[in-house]
């Protein structure tokens, strides 16, 4: 299985999907790929706009995407995809659309057969067993919390250490501590912005300048850096 799970599309002040573009290029390889793009996390902008934005970056690195909304049959689109790219936005809307279009299990099956998968933000979240570590507002009922289950751990994308000054709400770490209290047998990876996880077969590695924060019930959270062993996350 080949996965590139990216925390966030864009660093503030940069062009959309700019910082991870060379990682995407390396992941997809030299041969030009026309990947299937899933824009369903978009809520306040159109699928056409989203596809255009992503294509600008993909074309820069010798590849391209075609959005699933151009296909009459989304199931057939997934069945024939060379690579699958799932963009960020609102995880709840994304999962509901994936479910309504009956392609969650099919994506999982195709990726397990070797089709490369790239996701960022919500798109990284749906590679997990469930959407239960999303940061997004639940604007629509996803009709079930289970998602593609490509990895046996949860990712919290856009993982954040800072807390708005003088704000009384829970911190991100507080929320993840709630998650592991309620879900004691699963790891959570707090994936900071600018970071990504790359799985190649059984080899899971961190990419980016920041450490990742690993949470599990009964253990103190720990910081792992590039080059550290992440394979324990793959054991069920």
Catalytic residues: 121, 136, 158
Identify which of residues 133 and 198 has a Cβ nearer to a second copy in the complex.
133
Shortest separation between residue 101's beta carbon and a second copy, angstroms: 17
Shortest separation between residue 218's beta carbon and a second copy, angstroms: 13
Question: Is residue 54 within a helix (H) or strand (E), and if so which, with residue range?
Answer: helix 47-60
Helices 104-112, 91-100: inter-axial angle, 10-degree rounding: 90
Interaction site with a second copy (CB under 8 A): 8-12, 43-44, 89-90, 93, 121, 131-141, 144-145, 158, 160, 162-170, 174-179, 181-183, 193
- Residue that has been written with the tokens 């966030």 in this structure: 8
Shortest separation between residue 174's beta carbon and a second copy, angstroms: 8
CB distance 95 to 134 below 8 Å: no
Taking Cα atoms as reference points, which of 98, 89, 87, 196 lies closest to residue 146?
A: 98
Identify which of residues 38 and 78 has a Cβ nearer to a second copy in the complex.
38
Shortest separation between residue 171's beta carbon and a second copy, angstroms: 11
Identify which of residues 47 and 71 has a Cβ nearer to a second copy in the complex.
47
- Residue that has been written with the tokens 């990876």 in this structure: 189
Distance CA 108, CA 231 (A): 20
Shortest separation between residue 228's beta carbon and a second copy, angstroms: 24
Strands of the chain (E only): list them. 2-6, 34-38, 64-67, 84-86, 117-120, 154-159, 188-192, 196-200, 203-207, 212-215, 222-224
Identify which of residues 56 and 200 has a Cβ nearer to a second copy in the complex.
56
CB distance 34 to 64 below 8 Å: yes
Burial group, residue 163, by CB count within 10 angstroms (0-12, 13-18, 19+): middle
Identify which of residues 1 and 140 has a Cβ nearer to a second copy in the complex.
140
């Amino acid at each position: 299985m080949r996965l590139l799970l990216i925390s966030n599309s864009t660093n503030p002040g940069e062009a959309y999907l700019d910082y991870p573009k060379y990682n995407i290029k390396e992941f997809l390889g030299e041969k030009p790929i026309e990947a299937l793009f899933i824009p369903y996390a978009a809520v306040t902008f159109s699928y056409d706009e989203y596809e255009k934005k992503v294509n600008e970056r993909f074309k820069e690195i010798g590849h391209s995407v075609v959005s699933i909304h151009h296909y009459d049959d989304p199931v057939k689109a997934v069945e024939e995809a060379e690579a699958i790219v799932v963009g960020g936005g609102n995880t709840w809307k994304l999962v509901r659309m994936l479910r309504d279009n009956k392609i969650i299990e099919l994506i999982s099956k195709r990726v397990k057969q070797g089709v490369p998968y790239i996701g960022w933000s919500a798109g990284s979240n749906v590679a997990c067993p469930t959407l239960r570590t999303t940061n997004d507002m639940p604007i629509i009922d996803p009709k079930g919390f289970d998602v593609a289950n490509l990895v046996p751990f949860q990712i919290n994308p856009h993982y954040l250490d800072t807390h708005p000054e003088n704000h009384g709400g829970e911190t991100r770490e507080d929320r993840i501590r709630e998650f592991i209290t309620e879900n004691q047998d699963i790891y959570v990876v707090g994936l900071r912005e600018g970071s990504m996880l790359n799985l190649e077969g059984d080899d899971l590695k961190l990419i980016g300048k920041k450490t990742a924060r690993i949470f599990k019930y009964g253990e103190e959270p720990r910081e792992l850096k590039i080059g550290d062993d992440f394979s324990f996350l793959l054991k069920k």
